[in-house]
Structure 1
C-alpha cells in the first residue's frame, strides 16, 4: 500500500486508497500542475515483475488510450517509476453495480436489460481494437448519474489479464486472474480468449441483475469454478420462482453463458441486437415505483398483472461469527471483529473450546502456512460451520491452498466491506 503523500513519476500525488485487487491497488491521486484528481492504478510488484509484463502493459495502455467511448474510462498517462508500474485514469463518481445489487436486489427487466445494452456498446468499441476485458463483474461496472439517466462506466478494461499468452503463464504459476463467479470456461482453463469470453461474463452479470443472485451462488470458489466448467446454468424459476422474466430474454442470457464460445452470440453487436429486440416487445404496463433501499420491486407478469415480492439479498444473518487468531495476532482479530460489526454481524474473538453449533461461520486469520493447516483441521471437525480464511490478497499460495483445501472461501486483506458481507452471508446461509 502506498502512503498518502507519495508522489509517483513526479506528477501524481497519492491522496487515499480506493481499493485493492489481485493485480494491483487503486488510489485517488492529484495530477500536479493541473490539479486534476485521477484514479491511479499501481500494479502489485509480483505481477509487474512477470517476464514481459512491463512491455505488454505499456502496449495495452496505448491501446486503451485509443478507446474513446462515453462508457469507458479515459486513460491519461502510464509509466514505470521506481519499480511502480502505474496507469492514471479518469476518476468516476457514483456507485458500482455490486453496491446497487446489495441494496436493491433484482432489478426490473427494462432497467437490467438497458444496463446490459450499455455495457455491450462499450464492448463493441473495445473488441474492434482487440481489447478483451476478461474481468467483467458487477464490481467493475460503475453507475454514474447522467442528465439522460444513469450511465454505465466499465472499469479495469484490459488490465485483469493482458493478452492470452500472459494470462496462460500467470495461470500456470497459480495466480487467479479474474473472478471465478464471472469467468468464462476457456478463461478458467487458461485458454486463449476473445470477445465471446466477455459475453459469457456479461451473461453472468445480467443473470444476477434479473434474479438478484449469481448463476451458481452459495458455494466455495473452487466449486464455482467446477460449476462454470461443467454444470448447466439453473433456470430462472429454479432460483426465483416468483419472477416473471420473458422466455426470450432468459434464452438470450443462457445463450451468452454457453460453455463453448462458438455457441454464444457471434459478437457484442449480435447480443445487443437480441436484447434490444426483447426490449421492443410489449410487456404490459410499467411497474409501480418502489421506495429506495427497500429491497422490493414490482414484477410484471406476462399478462400485465402486478404483484409485489421481497427480493432475497445477501445480508448478515442472526447466527454469530467466530474469529480465531494465532496468539500474536490479537490486533488483527480485533480489527476483523470491528469490521464484521460495522457490516451488521455479531462477531467476537472465540476459542476452539466454544461450541461450534452456535456459530454461523468461522473466520481464521492467516499467519503463514500453519494457519492454513489449522483452518483445514477446523473445517474437518464434525458440526463445524463453514470456515473462511482471511489473509493477504497477494499471497497466492495461501489463496489457492484455501480454495483447494476444503475451506468455504478466502477473504482477502485489506478488507472490502461488500466482499466480506457477501462471503460471510453466504456461509451463514449454507449453515442454516
Structure 2
C-alpha cells in the first residue's frame, strides 16, 4: 500500500493520533487512518499539504471546513471529532467511514439498478438538504465523494469532503478564493459554477443530476473529455436523455424528466430544493402503468438522431477570422475552416464585423493568450456583434472559464481538432438564424 512508504505512517500527531496508513490524497491534503490513543478508536485524519498551506486563503478554507463540518449533524455526513494544529501542521480528525466510494462501485459494476441509483441520489440529497438548511453548499459533489456503506441491496451513503463548501448566507459569506477562480471537478460542475459565479444550493442539485446520470448510464452527461470541452457542454449543450442512451434499461420517463430538470442551464428551472428533488425522485419510481403499456412505449421510442451536418446555407455564411500571422499561423484555423467548407473572411481587430455570422479569434502564440482573450471579450461586447469563438490552450482551465464569463460564445481548445472546430462554428452560425 502507498502508505507504507509515507513518512507520516507511525507518526503521532498532536500527541494523540498515531497514523497507521494512507486513505487518500486530494488537492488540499492527505487523509490518513489513525488510532486515537487512549480511546482505542480509528479516525480519518486529514492533514493539509505544506505547500498548500502557503497559498493565499488555503489555511482559512481548511479552518472553515472544520467549522462547517462541526455544524452539520446528519447520519449521512461525516462526523468531525477534533481539529487543531501540531506545529505547522493543520489537521482534522473525522469519523473513519468503512465503505466503497461510488466511482469504484461504478468501475466494478457499471450502471446501477434504477431503483438503487435513485435511492442513492435521494440519500445524497437528504444530506445536502441538511447542509443547505445551514446555508452551506458542497460545490464538489461527485462519485468519489460519496461512500457506499453496506450492501447495494440496502444502500446507505456517506457524503465526504466538504472542503470546497461555501457559506451562502450573504451575512456570513467570505470570499476565500481569488476573483473569478473556479474550484471543483469539471464533469459535475453547474453552468454558473463554470462561469466563476458563487453557487447556491441549486448548483448542488445540478451536480446530483450529473451523479444520477452517471449511476444510470455509466458516465456523466458530458463525459470525461478535456476540462474545457466538458465545461462547454455544461454551458451550451443540452444533456443527452438517459432513456435514449440506455433504452434497454427501462428508465421511467418521469425519472428522465427529473434528471433533465436537474441539469437545466438556468438554475431557476431546476427543482426548488434538495428536499423537493428527493421526494420527486422517489415518486418517479411509483408502480408502472398497466402491464405491457410501458414496454410498448419503450419499443416505439425513436433511436437517437444522428449528428446533423451543417447545411449548405450555413456553410455559405461568412466566418470572420482574426489570425495574426494569416494562413501561415501554426494553428491552421483558417485552413481547417476552409477545408470544412466555410467561407472565411480574414479580418483585423479594427475591421467592421457587419454581415459576419461568426468570428474566430486566434492567439499569436502561447504567450499571447491573455491578449487574445482581451480582444475577444472586447469584440463580443460590440453592439450587434456576431458570436465570438476564442482559440486557446486545451489545458488552460482558467482561460476558458474567464472567456465564457466575459461573453465569448465558445472556446476552441488548441491544438485544433477540425471536427470540434466545425461543430462549434456550426452551432454559432445556427444561433444567428
Same fold (TM over 0.5): yes
CA distance change for structure 1 residues 90 and 2 in 2, over 3 Å: closer, same or farther? Answer: farther
CA distance change for structure 1 residues 306 and 246 in 2, over 3 Å: closer, same or farther? Answer: closer
Q: Report the secondary structure of 1:302's partner residue.
A: helix
Q: Gaps spanning 5+ residues in structure 1: where?
A: 286-299, 308-372, 374-396, 409-432
Give 1:83-122 correspondences, 5 Å limit. Answer: 83-122=88-127
Whole-Å separation in 2 of the counterparts to 1:146 and 1:68: 24
Give 1:251-270 correspondences, 5 Å limit. Answer: 251-270=257-276
Q: Report the secondary structure of 1:100's partner residue.
A: helix
Whole-Å separation in 2 of the counterparts to 1:75 and 1:90: 6
Aligned to 1:8: 13
Give 1:176-255 correspondences, 5 Å limit. Answer: 177-255=183-261
Whole-Å separation in 1 of the counterparts to 2:268 and 2:396: 30
CA distance change for structure 1 residues 305 and 35 in 2, over 3 Å: closer, same or farther? Answer: farther
Whole-Å separation in 2 of the counterparts to 1:46 and 1:170: 18
1:25 pairs, out of 20, 23, 30, with 30
Instruction: Output one character per residue of 1:329-385: Cα deviation in whole Å (capped at 9) or x when no partner.
Output: xxxxxxxxxxxxxxxxxxxxxxxxxxxxxxxxxxxxxxxxxxxx9xxxxxxxxxxxx
State the 1:232 CA deviation. Answer: 0.9
**Is the 8 Å Cα contact of residues 57 and 162 (structure 1) preserved in structure 2?**
no
**Is the 8 Å Cα contact of residues 180 and 197 (structure 2) preserved in structure 1?**
no
Whole-Å separation in 2 of the counterparts to 1:283 and 1:107: 23
Higher RCO, 1 vs 2 (CA within 8 Å, ≥6 residues apart): 1
Q: Report the secondary structure of 2:24's partner residue.
A: strand
Aligned to 2:52: 47
Matched, 1:123 2:128: yes
Instruction: Output one character per residue of 1:83-130: Cα deviation in whole Å (capped at 9) or x when no partner.
Output: 222111111112111111111111121111111111111111111112
**Is the 8 Å Cα contact of residues 227 and 395 (structure 2) preserved in structure 1?**
no
Structure number with greater Rg is 2
Whole-Å separation in 1 of the counterparts to 2:101 and 2:78: 14
**Is the 8 Å Cα contact of residues 283 and 304 (structure 1) preserved in structure 2?**
no
Matched, 1:136 2:141: yes
Whole-Å separation in 2 of the counterparts to 1:142 and 1:79: 25
Aligned to 1:303: 295
CA distance change for structure 1 residues 52 and 177 in 2, over 3 Å: closer, same or farther? Answer: closer
Instruction: Output one character per residue of 1:7-29: Cα deviation in whole Å (capped at 9) or x when no partner.
Output: 22222122111111122211111
Whole-Å separation in 1 of the counterparts to 2:160 and 2:241: 29
Give 1:341-356 correspondences, 5 Å limit. Answer: none
Whole-Å separation in 1 of the counterparts to 2:296 and 2:290: 5
1:61 pairs, out of 66, 70, 85, with 66
CA distance change for structure 1 residues 195 and 56 in 2, over 3 Å: closer, same or farther? Answer: same
Q: Report the secondary structure of 1:142's partner residue.
A: strand
Matched, 1:159 2:195: no
TM-score, normalisation: structure 1: 0.63
Q: Report the secondary structure of 1:149's partner residue.
A: coil
Q: Report the secondary structure of 2:85's partner residue.
A: strand
Whole-Å separation in 2 of the counterparts to 1:71 and 1:35: 24
Q: Report the secondary structure of 2:84's partner residue.
A: strand
**Is the 8 Å Cα contact of residues 161 and 178 (structure 1) preserved in structure 2?**
no
Aligned to 2:80: 75
Whole-Å separation in 1 of the counterparts to 2:298 and 2:201: 38
CA distance change for structure 1 residues 305 and 115 in 2, over 3 Å: closer, same or farther? Answer: same
Q: Gaps spanning 5+ residues in structure 2: where?
A: 1-5, 300-365, 367-392, 401-412, 417-433
Aligned to 2:358: none
The aligned length equals 303
Whole-Å separation in 1 of the counterparts to 2:154 and 2:82: 29
